[in-house]
Amino acid sequence: MYHFNVHFPLTKIKVNANCKSWITDSIRNKKATLVSLSAQARDNKDDDTKEMLKCKRKELKQNVMLEKKKFFDRKIECSTNLIKSTWQIINNKLGRKLTGNNSELLLNVNGRQISDPLCMAEVFNSFFSSAVENLILPNLPDNLILNENSQSIHFQVNKSFYLQPVNADVVSAIITSLSNKFSSGHDDISTAILKQCGKVISGPLAHLINSSFVTGIFPDQMKIAKVIPVFKKGDPHDVSCYRPISLLSSFSKVYERVVYNQFVSYLESNCLFDKEQHGFRSGKSVITAATDIVQSIIENVDKKKKVAAIFLNLSRAFDSVSHPKLLQILENFNIDRLTAAWFKSYLTNRKQYVEILKQNGKQVNKFQSSQRLIKYGVPQGSILGPLLFVCYLKGLPSVVMGNGKVCLYADDTNLLVTEDDIKQLDIIIS
């Protein structure tokens, strides 16, 4: 990083937020014509020139409105998050300023008020990293997620899975497919910057990725998460009213996408996903999950059965994943030893720190906490995390189904229980 900072020093530039990007060359030319015509109208003072000026003004106004509409339509259509982009446009037009710094942030901890940004960063990091341990994970029954006696986790797979080397073209295509975001991890390199130099670095990056596969080691520098506390609701001085937003290295996303593409193809081709799982799978969605539930209810009602639906949400599910259990499940998927070592390296020894931004006049200063070890969970904000979580829940439907039907969308679980007698149904769901 020293040499990187020497050759690519960080500089700050002022971006004109009021830049009207919808102003085209055609509009500028028409504006210039209008200015010239306005001068002629003042000099000549004849009715024909005034009428022409009036028509040109109306035409220019219509063109500006049309181009402005096209600009915002394109901005929303090209966005990966339509709702977020729409609200950004609305807030900008209404003059609502959304800042990313915590200039006015104060915390109350055990009756003591904390205003020092570095101390606040430490408080946030301690709270976020210890929250999962407070769920008393050791007391959870093993068979809730991993039941070694269950046939659902013993698979007959004809071939084993191993990570295959990639070339520069594959890496370049993956970089191009990344979301064009300006947020960055601890290395301060955003995907927007990475995409601009993707073709140049795709070759060396492919070599590094292949070396990672050969050694079974995921780079430690890519396992560091920068966490930004974002206020949810409630008391803004209460640390529990904030949620952590984890930002990972952009390079990590390239590594992960390579592994994701290979692993998900293996899982799909060998039918290793639970058919009841609709989360983070190609061709599956919230819509397919809802359709499955509604269809099951209709079918049972048509059979004159009584139906009860139990909706479950696993508390901090992604953050509470046990690494040893997850690695055991991955081994049951018949992955080879070197690939298993890579996944272990990817999951373990991950660290996080909290960053607080504090504005001092025109300058924004960063305050970072010390790094803390992450003992549980799949990485938040990662590409592989959701897929690994779905793997972690493998076999859950067979454990909890009993007299009903299970439908899952990641950690959101719906259990449909059916009985002929309403009293018996009440006993079961109680």
What's the burial of 106, exposed, middle or buried (CB within 10 Å: 0-12/13-18/19+)?
exposed
Note whether 113 and 234 are same-domain residues: yes
Q: Rounded distance, CA 314 to CA 393, Å? A: 11
Note whether 89 and 111 are same-domain residues: no
Please indicate, yes or no, if residue 168 is contained in any of the structural domains.
yes
Residue 15 is predicted with a pLDDT of 56
When divided into structural domains, the chain yields a total of: 2
**What rounded mean pLDDT belongs to the chain?**
84
Token couple for 286 = 């919230």
Q: Are 259 and 384 in contact (CB under 8 A)?
A: yes
Q: Rounded distance, CA 381 to CA 178, Å? A: 13
Q: Are 306 and 419 in contact (CB under 8 A)?
A: yes
Q: Which residue has the higher pLDDT, 406 or 345?
A: 345
What's the burial of 392, exposed, middle or buried (CB within 10 Å: 0-12/13-18/19+)?
buried
Residue 228 is predicted with a pLDDT of 93
Asked if residue 412 has pLDDT above 90, the reply is no
Residue 400 is predicted with a pLDDT of 64
Note whether 322 and 382 are same-domain residues: yes
Please indicate, yes or no, if residue 150 is contained in any of the structural domains.
yes
Q: What is the DSSP letter of 398?
A: H
Asked if residue 295 has pLDDT above 80, the reply is yes
Asked if residue 114 has pLDDT above 70, the reply is yes
Note whether 63 and 141 are same-domain residues: no
Asked if residue 54 has pLDDT above 90, the reply is no
List the domain range (segments joined by +) for residue 193. 107-276+318-391
Residue finishing a domain among 93, 116, 151 = 93
Q: Rounded distance, CA 353 to CA 374, Å? A: 10
Q: Which residue has the higher pLDDT, 360 or 245?
A: 245
Asked if residue 17 has pLDDT above 70, the reply is no
Please indicate, yes or no, if residue 197 is contained in any of the structural domains.
yes
| Residue located via tokens 């050969």 | 214
Asked if residue 88 has pLDDT above 80, the reply is no
Note whether 66 and 116 are same-domain residues: no
Please indicate, yes or no, if residue 128 is contained in any of the structural domains.
yes
Please indicate, yes or no, if residue 79 is contained in any of the structural domains.
yes
Q: Which residue has the higher pLDDT, 362 or 24?
A: 24
Q: Rounded distance, CA 329 to CA 340, Å? A: 11
> Positive or negative CA dihedral for 332, 336, 338, 339?
negative
Please indicate, yes or no, if residue 403 is contained in any of the structural domains.
no
Residue finishing a domain among 24, 58, 93 = 93
Note whether 386 and 258 are same-domain residues: yes
Note whether 42 and 127 are same-domain residues: no
Please indicate, yes or no, if residue 152 is contained in any of the structural domains.
yes
| Residue located via tokens 């996080």 | 352
pLDDT in tens, 211-237: 999 999 999 999 999 999 998 888 889
Note whether 239 and 171 are same-domain residues: yes
Q: Rounded distance, CA 372 to CA 351, Å? A: 5
Please indicate, yes or no, if residue 243 is contained in any of the structural domains.
yes
Note whether 75 and 203 are same-domain residues: no
Which residues lie across from 419 on neighbouring strands? 306
Q: Are 57 and 34 in contact (CB under 8 A)?
A: yes
Q: Indicate the pTM of the whole model.
A: 0.76
Note whether 132 and 68 are same-domain residues: no
Note whether 269 and 358 are same-domain residues: yes
Q: Which residue has the higher pLDDT, 14 or 173?
A: 173
**CA–centroid distance for 394 within its chain:** 22
Note whether 229 and 362 are same-domain residues: yes
Q: What is the DSSP letter of 101?
A: -
